[in-house]
Amino acid sequence: MSLLELIARADERGLAASGIACLDRCLPLPGDGHDPEPLRPLWAACEKGADWAARLDAVHAELEDTAGSDIVVARVRVLLGAAPRDFTAEPLRVWADACSLLALDVHRLYDFPAGDDAGSAEDCRDGGAAGAGPLVTGELRRQGEILESLAEAAGTEGGGTGLRRVLDLSTEGRRVLRAVVSRRARGGGRPGGVPLR
């Protein structure tokens, strides 16, 4: 099943958690004394949507000082501001879709130098991942695994286990991206001339 099909079938819990997980993997990168897990307050709201709107607003405000000139942090903050305050499936589906694209864009940035054509993030999500680099391929796999785990746990007593699996997968992905960015920074090059931090 393609990533787009998984997003189309997900319930509100799965959409909220997958969206947060995508943003979580994009930031923050180490340094500058920032909270290493600024989106943590949102995870508790994923199960039933409790305090979802209030937690979104708090995290959005917290990232205001963090964004600075960082393009990716600023884009994450825009998506947090655009997130639906109602915890219902259809508006969350549109938001989760945008979060998925951002995460793939960020990973693609570090896979290929500017100018290389490996297909769009949209193409990759619809099964056209041929030519994608290892970061994008790994991110596609991770997004799919997250949505599948949440779907399997939906409506069961294992719901909390599903969210823990999402956290584990997202932490793994964040670690991978941080390692790549760190290596690029030591080498002095930043693909496309766009720094993540």
- Cα–Cα distance measured from residue 172 to residue 97, given in angstroms and rounded to the nearest whole number: 21
139 burial type by CB count under 10 A (0-12 exposed, 13-18 middle, 19+ buried)? buried
Number of H helices, E strands in the chain: 10, 0
DSSP result, 49-75: -TTHHHHHHHHHHHTHHHHTT-HHHHH
| 105 vs 24: CA distance, rounded Å | 14
Taking only Cα atoms into account, the Rg of the chain, rounded to an integer number of angstroms, comes to: 16
Predicted confidence pLDDT, tens digits, the chain (197 residues): 889 999 999 999 999 999 999 999 987 555 555 666 888 889 888 888 889 999 999 998 888 766 555 788 889 989 999 999 999 999 999 999 999 999 999 998 888 654 455 556 676 777 666 667 889 999 999 999 999 999 988 765 545 677 888 999 999 998 998 888 888 777 755 444 343 33
Closest CA to 110 of 37, 21, 179: 179
Q: Are 105 and 121 in contact (CB under 8 A)?
A: yes
Q: 18: burial class by Cβ within 10 Å (0-12, 13-18, 19+)?
A: buried
Q: Is the pTM of this model over 0.75?
A: yes
